[in-house]
Structure 1
Amino acid sequence: MRISFLLHNAYGIGGTIRTTFNLAQVLAERHDVEIVSVFRHREKPMMGAPAGVTMRELVDLRRSSPDFAGDHPDHRRPAKVFPRGDGRHKQYSRLTDTRIAEHLRSLDADVVVGTRPGLNVHIARQTRRGPVRVAQEHLTLDGHGYRLRRELGYRYGLLDAITTVTEADARAYRTRLKLPGVRIESVPNSVPRPSVPPSDGSGTFVVAAGRLTGVKRYDLLVKAFSKVVAARPDWRLRIYGSGDATGNERDALTALVEERQLKDHVFLMGNAHPLEPEWVKGSIAAVTSSKESFGMTIVEAMRCGLPVVSTDCPHGPREIIEDGVDGRLVPTGDVDAIADALLELICDDELRLRSGAAALAASERFDPVRIAARHEALFTELVEQARTRGSRTALRDAAYRLRGTVYGSVYALRYLAAAVLRRAGRKG
């Protein structure tokens, strides 16, 4: 098969980039695979180009490129196809609308795969007839605003399949978006086998990793560790990751560590790449998020032989951790429950080692070869169906295109009416 992935920016850092690279590299061992990046801002991918995969860009933002200065008149005009409800909308323009459309209308592939809602809308609306159209959801339907969910309901009917990273999110798509004829499957993200030996469970470190943002609730973890230190002062907590440009979350955590007098026990380590050597220095991993679309760090820690104490938040942890076997699930937001679960593993060496071994074994199901096989089976089935489908699919597509046109017209009229009212208000 010829498989083409469409990414926002393959030259940055992020979970969607990492999991797409993992999948593409394995598929490239048996198929012709390319990754098309809408944007390119540096010479080489930060996360390393996947072996055997062709890479190209649609808008080149490097200084040597004509696109760099943004002189093209369409560069400053807001995108019309890329939905406003997608958080990346301000980075898109009429120029990206045109470049993406040209790419999709000339695409020579059996399968085209989008990796974020805005790009999935492009694929639904602009891909020529022939390629199978697959939308990957790397976040969650509930995590999107009403405006975006509404547009997805109108546009996604033109797709052949949607894949989510959890079964809970797949159920949300099946029940809340009425998309007859669209296959909806859950396929988790993949994590490769670490390049270092697994943790031996003897270290006295709890490790957490992820961006320093409010949703990760590292404040709860620091508070819980106060209770841990009171019982086991020989243990330490390392938190890896950086925050946004403001640094507000890091400052707040630093202040909390000082307030709790934990400067000798809790350390904000910043970024580490690769992270595997840092995971294996620890003996327990901790995740205290209020929500997760999947939980890549949970799998990464388990692949390094660490049992994970995690909040039982939507959507991913419950589908990864078997409570009491390879980790612990605790109520979201419960500081005491987090501390008690950590202490249970800290104070029982045999339990900690047994749980770590179970985590290592269970994490094999997320190996890229196994995950790629599931995608490959889905793509193969959809391509075979596409070769035999006839007027019924054509009629379905025509109906959804008409529905989308009506939606776009109604939205445009509402936008125009709101602009007129705002102008009238200013004049009044």
Structure 2
Amino acid sequence: MKITFLIHNVYGIGGTVRTTLNLAAALAGRHQVTIVSMLRHRARPRFAVDPRVTVVPLVDTREHGADAADPLLHQPAEVFPAAEKRYKQYSRLTDKRAEEYLRSSDADVLIGTRPGVNVYLARFGSPRALRIAQEHLTHDSHSKRLRAQLARHYRDLDAVVTTTEADAAVYRSRMPLPGVRTLAVPNCVPDPGLPPADGSAKVIAAAGRLVPAKRFDLLVEAFGEVAGKFPDWSLRIYGAGTDKDRLRRLIEEHGLEGRAALMGVVSPIEEVFARASIVASASDAESFGMTLVEAMRCGVPVVATDCPLGPAEIIDDGVDGRLVPMGDKHALAAELCQLIADESGRRRMGEAARAAAHRFDPARIAAVYEDLFAELTASRRTRARQRGKARWRARAGRVLRRLRG
């Protein structure tokens, strides 16, 4: 089977890039897998790409790249939805290249990995192929305008796949798509192949984009309470983003220099997680929570805010990690202190976390996708009838409304 993923930029860094590469590698053992990158801004991808996976860049945005002189590169996109957060990075050249590639593709399965790219998939992807939209963000993180645009296009697809069951339920209730399978499949996270953390390091680690929604400010404030009780413990935050300077000032204001540090971007992150004893997440929102699983794979317990939508579907509270109320720095500090004080309990929780993380094995997630491909293929005619009836009812409703008017 030929499987093609369409991604915003496989040359960049981010959770969607990591999980797409993980899933592509898992499927490449049994299928012919291609990753089509809408954009290319550097010579090589930052993350390792399985040699069995083919990477095809569509538009080279480098200053002296192959497309630098193309006038379409500097004209705004007309197909990529303007309400999409990445809209300014797209152009008429991206529209053109996506259409050309998709119309000529002989893939059996086409999988898009962000909303605007999924619109390309719906507009230009061959109906002979299975067309699947992955949602690595969440329904409610999209603007009302974007959701309306997606609803028009997603109805032409075969499936919409979210990373959590909670988000799938939101899609089913607020964006009903007759004939389209809407389901949750978690991201896959491979075993890092490292010895598990032994729980002896007096280090709390955290990782992610340094942006307001990740609430690293709350974590720093909570650590201020921890530091007063356990002066030999430190906090290390890995990542980059717009909040970097604000977080540095906050660390200074709380007198935590030398105790709390911004460590920059590290990849693979598992190497530093394995040298910590606790991983913390204070996010206000998570579409999944890759860092939580990555920490668990290293045998490190996680203390995370019980935010929408991912942590509660990853962490079994009190067994392989702890969940605390969102936005409550005192609760976060209390759970961190409890784990620090209970070394044997911390080790047991880390062992449980490592065992629980096996449900995110790439081979298991790849098998779920293979089952989905078979199901979608077998149900093509039934789903086409459902889609046709829904369209007929919609047209009839419009006619009735016009007559009444």
1:293 aligned residue (273, 287, 295)? 287
Structure 2: segments with no counterpart, 5+ residues: 399-405
Residues 13-45 of structure 1 deviation map (CA, whole Å, 9 limit, x = unaligned): 111111001001110100111111111222221
Q: Name which of 247, 263, 271 aligns with 1:269.
A: 263
The amino acid of 1:306's aligned partner reads: V
Q: Secondary structure at the match of 1:109?
A: coil
User: Contact (CA 8 Å) 2:216, 2:247: kept in 1 or not?
Assistant: yes
Label 1:400 to 1:220 Cα distance change in 2 as closer, same or farther (>3 A): farther
- Listed as ranges, the matches of 1:227-306 within 5 Å are 227-244=225-242, 249-306=243-300
**1:169 Cα offset (Å):** 0.4
Q: CA deviation at 1:8?
A: 1.1
Q: Map 1:12-411 onto structure 2 (within 5 A).
A: 12-62=12-62, 65-69=65-69, 71-72=70-71, 74-244=72-242, 249-386=243-380, 392=385, 395=388
Measured in 2, the distance between the counterparts of 1:140 and 1:76 equals 30
Q: 1:398 to 1:124 in 2, by over 3 A?
A: farther
Equivalent-residue separation in structure 2 for 1:162 and 1:196 (angstroms): 34
Relative to structure 1, is the Cα distance of residues 349 and 391 closer, same or farther in structure 2, using a 3 angstrom cutoff? closer
User: What letter matches 1:107 in structure 2?
Assistant: S
CA displacement at 1:400 relative to structure 2: 11
Contact 1:158/1:400 (<8 A) preserved? no
Q: Which amino acid aligns with 1:14?
A: G
Question: 1:28 is aligned with what amino acid?
Answer: A
**What is the Cα deviation at residue 153 of structure 1?**
1.4
Deviation at 1:62, TM superposition (A): 4.2
> Which whole-Å CA distance do the structure 1 matches of 2:368 and 2:150 have between them?
25
2: CA distance, partners of 1:400 / 1:21: 41
- 1:63 is displaced (CA, Å) by 5.5
| CA contact 1:82–1:119 (8 Å) conserved in 2 | yes
Partner amino acid, structure 2, of 1:37: S
SS, match of residue 353 in structure 2 = helix
**TM-score with structure 2 length normalisation?**
0.93
* Alpha carbons of structure 1 residues 358 and 32: separation in structure 2 relative to 1, 3 Å: same
- CA distance in 1: counterparts of 2:379 and 2:244, whole angstroms: 51
User: Within 1, Cα distance between the matches of 2:285 and 2:6?
Assistant: 26
3-state DSSP class of the match of 2:88?
A: helix
Deviations 1:40-95 (A, max 9, x none): 222221112223111112212346644123x33x3333222111111111121222
Residue 128 of structure 1 deviates from its aligned partner by 2.2
Letter of the structure 2 residue corresponding to residue 104 of structure 1: L
Of 313-322 and 97-106, deviating more is: 97-106
Secondary structure at the aligned position of 1:198 is classed as: coil
Change in Cα spacing, 1:396 to 1:81, as seen in structure 2 (3 Å) is: farther
Give the secondary-structure state (helix, strand or coil) at the position aligned to 2:316: coil
Q: Do the aligned partners of residues 390 and 179 (structure 1) sit closer, same or farther apart at CA in structure 2, a change above 3 Å counting? A: closer
Q: How many Å separate the matches in 2 of 1:279 and 1:186?
A: 27
Q: Is the Cα contact below 8 Å between 2:178 and 2:390 reproduced in 1?
A: no
1:193, 1:303 within 8 Å by CA — same for their partners in 2? yes
Aligned identity (percent) is: 54
CA contact (8 A) 1:191 1:299 kept: yes
For residues 332-388 of structure 1, give each alpha carbon's deviation from its aligned partner in whole angstroms, at most 9, with x where no partner exists.
0101100100011110111111111111100111111111111111012212334x5
Moved more, 343-352 or 54-63: 54-63
Q: What is the CA RMSD across the aligned residues, in angstroms? A: 2.1
Per the alignment, in what secondary structure is the counterpart of residue 267 of structure 2?
coil
Alpha carbons of structure 1 residues 399 and 111: separation in structure 2 relative to 1, 3 Å:
farther
**2-side partners of 1:65 and 1:397: how far apart?**
46
Equivalent AA in structure 2 for residue 109 of structure 1: A
Q: Which deviates the most, 182-191 or 123-132?
A: 123-132
Q: In structure 1, what residue type is equivalent to 2:23?
A: L
Residues 110, 383 of structure 1: 8 Å contact kept:
no
